[in-house]
Amino acid sequence: MDSLTHIVLGACIGEVILDKNAGKKAILWGALAQSIPDIDFIAGAWMPVSAELLAHRGITHSFLFGIVVAFLLSLIAARWHKAEPITLKKWYFFFLIEIVCHLLLDSLNNYGIGWFEPFSSKRIAFNVLYVADPLFSIVPGIAFATLLFLKSDHQHRLKWARTGIIASFIYMTFAFVNKYKVEKLVQTFVESSEKKYPNHFSTPTLLNNLLWFIVLEEKSGYHVAYRSIFDHSPTLELTFFPKNDSLLNPIDDHIEVMELKKFSQGFYTINQIKDTLVFSDLRFGQVNGWQNPHSRFAFQYYLSHPDNNDLVVQRGRMAGFNWSSAKAMFGKMFN
């Protein structure tokens, strides 16, 4: 999830677990603790784009990291707050819950997360929530703002914190129900289709959980579709994108290309634009595919000559998303 969501939800959890024993410091510790796994952005600043993509949500988003860092943070907090009646065990319980919540939340979107690093490089992605969903974050955000202004001994602080957490849980349940409905539809469509689709995935579109992006894989490429949770039609309107994997043959052995393939988990297409190859990661959907079925994909990488220092260049993810495409998205949501 986005950093703001981790901060506000972490603050609410901190208030509930530490309660009045730590005063307002509880929400600050909570916001910090649930942001800790994202320190991997520091190392990413010195990495090539392709390596950075794989490094992010890697070892710092593993359960091993959470167990070790929670213990170290609990030692620091217990020593720092000797005056407060909080045991070392409670500090450890608090930090572990905060970090594990971060890991669970990040597993719900489509980027992928390395829960089992360094023992396994397998990335976990349940594709249930978009990486930034305002409806998921708004209530804990309001609760966080309220906790900042309320006095540390105010009688309603705990109620506000619990409200933020419960609202997030309710919305998460709503998202899982939507995921189940979309997956059931896709499975029915695949079983009734004459074509063979060995793999597929579905994920929410930009900033919402009402309109879903669906990708069906076949031998030569991918069929993509958009589906509103309010749409009860048994069919899918598909648009085909050839994989064109053979275009990578001249540079297929380059480390950057191999890293991009690994990051995309096999869901990618290659296009030739003039003298440049474009690598598109399908998992993150199109910029405005609900309006223009053939629009470009949000995550694109321009592959130049292998001797170039910048073999992989990440392009803008939001280019082309404007008021017109936003209105089209809302129209498609409530179709």
Is 304 a domain residue? yes
Rounded CA Rg of the chain: 22
Output the DSSP codes for 21-88.
Answer: GSTTHHHHHHHHHTTGGGGHHHHHTTS-HHHHHHHTTSGGGSHHHHHHHHHHHHHHHHHHTTTS---H
For residue 307, what pLDDT band results from cuts at 50, 70 and 90? very low
Last residue of a domain, one of 130, 151, 173: 173
- Are residues 124 and 48 part of one domain? yes
Intra-chain end-to-end CA distance of the chain, in Å = 27
- pTM of this prediction exceeds 0.85: yes
Contact status, residue 62 vs residue 114, Cβ threshold 8 Å: yes
SS3 for 140? helix
The answer, yes or no, to whether residue 270 has pLDDT greater than 60, is: yes
Is 27 a domain residue? yes
Domains of the chain: total: 3
Contact status, residue 76 vs residue 70, Cβ threshold 8 Å: no
- Residue 300, token pair as written in the block: 């694109």
- Are residues 145 and 11 part of one domain? yes
Last residue of a domain, one of 173, 191, 208: 173
- Are residues 329 and 282 part of one domain? yes
Per residue in 119-145, pLDDT (tens digit) is: 999 999 999 999 999 999 999 999 999
Is 233 a domain residue? no
Report the DSSP beta bridge partners of residue 223: 216, 240
- Are residues 141 and 108 part of one domain? yes
- Are residues 199 and 258 part of one domain? no
The answer, yes or no, to whether residue 335 has pLDDT greater than 80, is: no
The packing angle between helices 3-18 and 134-149, to 10°, is: 50
- Are residues 20 and 41 part of one domain? yes
- Are residues 197 and 92 part of one domain? no
Residue with tokens 């705990």, as numbered in its chain:
158
Per residue in 184-236, pLDDT (tens digit) is: 999 999 999 888 899 999 999 989 999 999 999 998 999 999 999 999 888 89
Residues 6+ apart with CB under 8 A from 200: 186, 190, 214, 215, 216, 217
Is 30 a domain residue? yes
Contact status, residue 172 vs residue 105, Cβ threshold 8 Å: no
Contact status, residue 75 vs residue 46, Cβ threshold 8 Å: no
- Are residues 168 and 41 part of one domain? yes
Is 301 a domain residue? yes
- Are residues 140 and 97 part of one domain? yes
> pLDDT at position 308, please?
45
> pLDDT at position 229, please?
95
Is 234 a domain residue? no
- Are residues 186 and 296 part of one domain? no
Last residue of a domain, one of 128, 157, 173: 173
> pLDDT at position 323, please?
79
Q: What is the dihedral of CA 290, 294, 299, 300, to 10 degrees?
A: -160
- Domain with 201 in it: 178-228
- Are residues 165 and 17 part of one domain? yes
- Residue 270, token pair as written in the block: 């290659």
- Are residues 131 and 17 part of one domain? yes
Is 318 a domain residue? yes
Is 239 a domain residue? no
